[in-house]
Amino acid sequence: MHYLDDYLELLDPLPEMMREKLTMMRESDLKIQADFDKLEENTSQFLSSYRQYQSQQSSPQRTRIQIKRQNSDKEEVENIPGDVEQQRKQLEYDKLVEKYQQLLQQTTTKATLANESHDIIERYYKKLEHDLNKFKMELEADYSGITETLEKRYASEGFNEYENTNNFYDSE
């Protein structure tokens, strides 16, 4: 019947684990935001320079950037029809797409960290629920009807903080 002591002992590493996960998430978030801002700026510059390039084209048919699929080879860039400037624009575009893919990967990593943190908390919560039910059953086995009495007293004296905080927020 030392469930509380055992659970508190089990909780000892939790704050440090969560601090590490949340710090990693915060660092990841800052890096993602910086990379996103840089990508956004580079994309804006690229689009601006590409519009200018398009307006300078003498042919009535404008050239287009070839959108490569993920499974295509890098060697395709050298086989792009058009002039050197068009090839340079294509390379710039491909670099932007690559940076975008890297940013997506970083975001996925951050989401994985968040899911891991959620799973850790959920495991601790389930353990608490399990231990609470075992404790309740042991109390009932030793003192029949005591858990119902304690729960009624607990509810009538307003010890339920969750309900009290919900009422506080509902009244605003």
pLDDT at 44 over 80: yes
- Is residue 16 one of the residues assigned to a domain? yes
pLDDT at 32 over 70: yes
**What count of Cα atoms within 13 Å lies in the side-chain half-sphere of residue 62?**
9
Mean pLDDT over all residues of the chain? Answer: 82
- Is residue 65 one of the residues assigned to a domain? no
**pLDDT-derived band of residue 77, with 50, 70 and 90 as boundaries?**
very low
pLDDT of residue 26: 96
pLDDT of residue 119: 96
Burial of 99 (0-12, 13-18, 19+ CB in 10 A): middle
Burial of 131 (0-12, 13-18, 19+ CB in 10 A): middle
- Is residue 145 one of the residues assigned to a domain? no
- Is residue 32 one of the residues assigned to a domain? yes
- Is residue 163 one of the residues assigned to a domain? no
- Using only C-alpha atoms, the chain has a radius of gyration, in whole angstroms, of 30
Task: Work out the average pLDDT over 135-152.
Answer: 84
- Is residue 161 one of the residues assigned to a domain? no
**CA 19/CA 120 separation, integer angstroms:** 12
Joined together, the tokens standing for residue 121 give 């908390």
- Is residue 148 one of the residues assigned to a domain? no
Q: What is the pLDDT of residues 84-130, one digit of tens each?
A: 888 898 999 999 999 999 999 999 999 999 999 999 999 999 999 99
> Which residue range is the domain that position 12 belongs to?
3-57+74-128
- Say what the pTM is: 0.65
More confident residue, 71 or 92: 92
Specify the number of domains making up the chain.
1
**What count of Cα atoms within 13 Å lies in the side-chain half-sphere of residue 41?**
6
pLDDT of residue 132: 87
pLDDT at 169 over 60: no
